[in-house]
Amino acid sequence: MKNKSKKIKRKHNMQGTYESVKVIGTFHRYGIQQSVDSNGTFYYRPVVYMQDCQDLSNTDLKLPEYLLFNLTKGFKSLGILNPGTKLEINCRHYLKEERNAGYGYPTNIVIANNRPDFPDDPNVLAGMIMVKNQDNPEAEKDPINTDLIQIYKKWLENKE
């Protein structure tokens, strides 16, 4: 079976040629980089260090040990992150033959979700909620339907 490669849409801007990609990785730490503006004034730039990153758009691409992103509003909207938090990030990958090769301009940053989706079937969903609330004293007045609980348990067995 042939391995079909996805056609890459390349874009160009002042920083070079890039492709839009989705990266998943582990938040490692916050850091500070010292920079100099065009007037020669030093300033400090907060950054985010990501490790164990994979490019979900191109699985053959070898990423560096760490990816470094500016601490943008997208990161700040998640609150203060703890090391080990998995994140999905849409960003630009600047191609190697160009100046500024690397990753940048992070957008749509979300905590990676390894949790299962809710069941589509309303009976399975109701049974799941009933099972999850069995030991919750706040839910003691919620209705219980053993048939729906059995439907949920059977759905779980078939899913595995």
pTM, to two decimals: 0.62
How far apart CA 18 and CA 146 sit, in angstroms, is: 56
> Where along the chain do its domains lie?
10-111, 122-159
Write the CATH number of the domain with boundaries 10-111: 2.40.50
DSSP string over 12-52: EETTEEEEEEEEEEEEEEEEEEEEE-TTS-EEEEEEEEEEE
Are the C-beta atoms of 56 and 89 separated by less than 8 Å? no
- The tens place of each residue's pLDDT in the chain, 160 residues long, gives 444 444 456 555 555 678 888 889 999 999 998 888 899 999 888 999 999 988 887 766 677 788 889 999 999 999 999 999 999 999 988 876 554 458 888 999 999 876 677 888 999 999 999 999 888 888 888 888 999 999 999 998 887 6
| Beta strand residue intervals within the chain, DSSP E | 10-13, 16-36, 42-55, 66-70, 86-94, 102-111
